[in-house]
Amino acid sequence: MSTIHNFGAGPGILPKTVFEQASQAVLNFNNSGLSLLEMSHRSKDFVAVVDNSVALVKELLNVPEGYSVLFLQGGASTQFMQVPYNLMKQGGKAAYLKTGVWASKAEKEARLFGETVVVASSEDKNYNYIPKEYAIPADVDYFHCTSNNTIYGTQMKSYPNSPVTVVCDMSSDIFSKPVDVSKFGLIYCGAQKNMGPAGVTMVIVKDEILGKTARALPSMMDYTVHIKENSLFNTPPVFAIYVSMLTLEWVKAQGGVVEMAKRNQAKAELLYTEIDRNPLFTCPVANEDRSEMNAIFLLTDESKEEAWNTLCKEAGLHGLKGHRSVGGYRASMYNALPIESVEVLVETMREFERRNA
């Protein structure tokens, strides 16, 4: 079978060794004679998986004391609601930075619990930049931002000094580079980009910010309940957590998030350099805000779309179609994507230029 270079936006590419280990666990986990899929989530073997997963998150991101790591269900979209449920006081309000679809959806959900203040938005230019000049009110319960925007190809390269708790959706760039967790009160992410398969959501939360809303919370929505139960309050997504653990072990073995950052920077530089050089392609994103995870590019002549698509297929380039709200193409370069795949994409772009110059 010919090589497939998977640039899909999500669920994203994972290391081959992870698939191999995970497939064995489906058949016979830890030589128990049982599949992981049929094993009790409260068994000694699976509790060890959760404990190891938590330890890996804390080690890789250097999580300070006083923070808890949770593995939950419902995707990052459930966090759009769970965050204000747990952090917005009765009659309170929260500030949001509006940089794309997911940030907008998060702000919309928060309105169900109180007032929201949009401190800045890049909607005026179809979210192709990250707003820089804005003030975060000191009288809000928290400030929410989205670190990376898969649809529009933008990424926050720094975070504002905030007078209030900072909450960040890091779904699409978590573990791609070092993060100073101490600057955040809460970080959440869907696993299906850099961490594992769809089905589990990871939350890192500062314990001291919880339990201050004067609001009665349903047990499933209460972070403190899940902390007390070690993410085992109800049956968790056992397979998704296990595959995430394997992926985090792989990240550690490669040299951790520092090494991931070096590789991701090299991949992004290689591709963006070619996009800027090649007259047949253009990138609509502001240079300083270009994402290292999701590179957006357009054809300068849309009449050549069919020819480009054919060439991509012949080269084994998969998942390049852009989101419908932006069009064009999107190359997602998550941790497990090797630079060799980016080299094939760049060479295909050069071949397209040779044929159509």
What is the rounded distance in angstroms from the CA atom of residue 90 to the CA atom of residue 289?
36
Instruction: Say whether 169 is catalytic.
Output: yes
What is the rounded distance in angstroms from the CA atom of residue 250 to the CA atom of residue 226?
26
What is the rounded distance in angstroms from the CA atom of residue 303 to the CA atom of residue 272?
22
The string of DSSP letters for 133-169 reads: -----TTSS-EEEESEETTTTEE-SS----SS-EEEE
Q: What angle do CA 295, 257, 237 make, to 5 degrees?
A: 85
Residue in 231, 211, 98 with CA at minimum distance from that of residue 154: 98
Residue 242 to residues 18, 50, 197, 336, Cα–Cα distance (Å): 10, 8, 10, 17
Instruction: Say whether 102 is catalytic.
Output: yes
Give the pair of three-digit tokens for residue 3.
């090589």
Catalytic residue (choose from 102, 141, 222, 289) = 102
Catalytic residue (choose from 93, 193, 206, 267) = 193
Catalytic residue (choose from 141, 169, 173, 222) = 169
Per DSSP bridges, beta strands 148-149 and 154-155 are antiparallel
| Catalytic positions | 102, 169, 193
